[in-house]
Amino acid sequence: MSLYIDIKYLHAISHRLENFKKKSQDLYNCRCPICGDSSRNKKKSRGYFYRGKNDLYYKCHNCGAGQHFGTFLKNFDSNQYGQYVVERYAEGGHNKTSHKTVESVLTFEEPKFNKKPEPRLIDSIMDRLDTLPDDHEVIQYVTDRKIPRDAYSRLYFIRNVKDVIQLNDKYKESIVTEEPRLAIPFLDGAGKLLVVSLRGIRGESLRYINVKVDEDAPSIFGLDQVDPSREVLVVEGPLDSLFLDNSIACAGTSFGKIDQLPIPKENITIIFDNQPKNRDVGKLMNKYIEMGYKMVIWPDSVPGKDINEMIENGLTSDEIQRIINDNTFKGLAAKARYAMWRKV
């Protein structure tokens, strides 16, 4: 149990680590002693000790330091490190690994996060779109889709889709390809990462791969940005929501859970894709009309089955916003319009 030894030595030095805190099972946080963290903000603590397979690792989201706990300890307190090595050697003896050198013990395989990671961990495996050059493949992709530039800071590029396994290793078996993708992180109101949706950009037949970081979290995009005290537009696609003001997206089955949102019903306008022939959508629309929600019933003339398609076909965000305002109904009026829309 080398993990046990790592944790034991972490506790032995923890009182000398500023702002040291246990965040969850096998995840500890402190101010980074390597870079000193922020010199202005004494509360900033961006160093994390987290569990790999059988070892503890250290990562700082300020200076980018990433190392095995042993390496951290060696630099932090060489006396403690001396004892630590003896203990790990002694333990190794039971496992017939006593012949191993210290260095080989300390250079284990790349760590995998098997606990809920902090949101910033995403920055170590992906690049945020607003940090990439205009001629980059993914920037070309979002430019072609006319995604607004001010939304680039909410989107990421992942070079190898397999790297996302670091956010939840349950997907180890199911993600087998290695292509680059557009990554759309779903954060909660506190900025915690819940889900990452990975959109193919090279014409993959599997257009979306959704990775739940928090297994129980709803797949709702935009909770970190939305103001629930104002009118909230609820759409189906995360990318669609980027074209609208104060909008969130309920991806997949989460569209059946709009009534569970932490937003007052009177502030919600529901906007389904423009797919009158889709039975499942029809059922849900009926349900929410019955429950008294405001709903957009698209006029026949709109050019596209979703908002992004309408934009690609030449409408502006303002024009779509106007269509939404002019075609929002509730109660009996919504029922009547809905019946007409389905017949088209």
Q: Which residues contact 7 (CB under 8 A, 6 or more apart)?
A: 56
Contact residue for Zn ion among 12, 13, 35, 217 (CB under 5 A): 35
Query: What sign does the CA torsion over 9, 11, 17, 19 have?
Result: positive
Q: Which is nearer to Zn ion, 32 or 249 (by Cβ)?
A: 32
Q: Which of residues 37-76 bind Zn ion (CB under 5 A)?
A: 60, 62-63
For the beta carbon of residue 220, count every other beta carbon within 10 angstroms. 25
Q: Provide the Cα torsion 213, 217, 220, 225; round to 10°.
A: -80
What is the token pair recorded at 253?
């089955």
CB of 118 to Zn ion, least distance (A): 14
Q: Which is nearer to Zn ion, 34 or 281 (by Cβ)?
A: 34
Q: Which is nearer to Zn ion, 58 or 255 (by Cβ)?
A: 58
Query: What sign does the CA torsion over 219, 316, 136, 132 have?
Result: negative
What is the token pair recorded at 43?
């509360």
Check residue 210 for interaction with Zn ion (CB under 5 A): no
Q: Which is nearer to Zn ion, 64 or 252 (by Cβ)?
A: 64
CB of 212 to Zn ion, least distance (A): 29
Q: Which is nearer to Zn ion, 32 or 302 (by Cβ)?
A: 32
Please, are residues 286 and 277 in contact by the beta-carbon 8 Å criterion? no
Q: Compute the chain's Rg from CA coordinates.
A: 25
Contact residue for Zn ion among 3, 12, 13, 34 (CB under 5 A): 34
CB of 30 to Zn ion, least distance (A): 10
User: Are β-strands 156-158 and 127-128 bridged in parallel, bridged antiparallel, or unpaired?
Assistant: antiparallel
CB of 107 to Zn ion, least distance (A): 21
CB of 36 to Zn ion, least distance (A): 7
Q: What are phi and psi of 65, to 5 degrees?
A: -55, 135
Check residue 334 for interaction with Zn ion (CB under 5 A): no
CB of 111 to Zn ion, least distance (A): 17
Task: Point out which residues bind Zn ion (CB under 5 A).
Answer: 32, 34-35, 60, 62-63
